[in-house]
Amino acid sequence: MSELIGQTLSPNLYDLLARGTVTVVVATVDDNGWPHTAPYNQVIATDPGHLRLAINRLDETFRSLRDYGLAMVEVLEEGDIAAGIRGRARIVHEQMEADCNLAVMEIEIDEVKRDNSPRFLVVQGTRTRYRRAPVLLLHRRIMAELRS
């Protein structure tokens, strides 16, 4: 059941997203109006009104955000956290220093809604892990660049 809770992140949601440890699902639309979703784990809240994410410039999500500038970000996390974040995206850096294939997108938050179910608890969010050990070092560099 959705309920509008504000135009910026609540303190708890901000703290969670500022840590940079959450995987979110980003929703956009394509040229034909079809929805497109993709998970991203290189995302942080820079302040209660903005999210930043590292995104591959070849991804459909990047193209949709660049062309239309509209995004919906869903956060599902343990502790019964279920929130939809609607906002407008813009490119901050076309190419990251940490990984030349990635761009930095910033989402200015317009609306935050609670998506909790009255019948079910969210007990775990989307979980990811590194396919290879060297990715950990790259991930740390990317997250540091997102914070700067």
Whether 71 contacts 60, CB under 8 Å: no
* pLDDT tens digit sequence for 6-48: 999 999 999 999 999 999 999 999 889 999 999 999 999 999 9
Q: What are phi and psi of 145, to 5 degrees?
A: -70, -40
Token look-up 């190419």 returns 95
pTM to 2 decimal places: 0.92
Kindly report the CATH number that applies to the domain delimited by 3-147.
2.30.110.10
Name beta bridge partners: 27.
37, 72
Domain ranges within the chain, ordered by starting residue: 3-147
* pLDDT tens digit sequence for 104-120: 999 999 999 999 998 99
First to last CA, the chain: 36
Token look-up 């950990």 returns 136
Q: Cα separations (Å) of 131 from 22, 119, 135, 137, 139?
A: 17, 35, 7, 12, 12
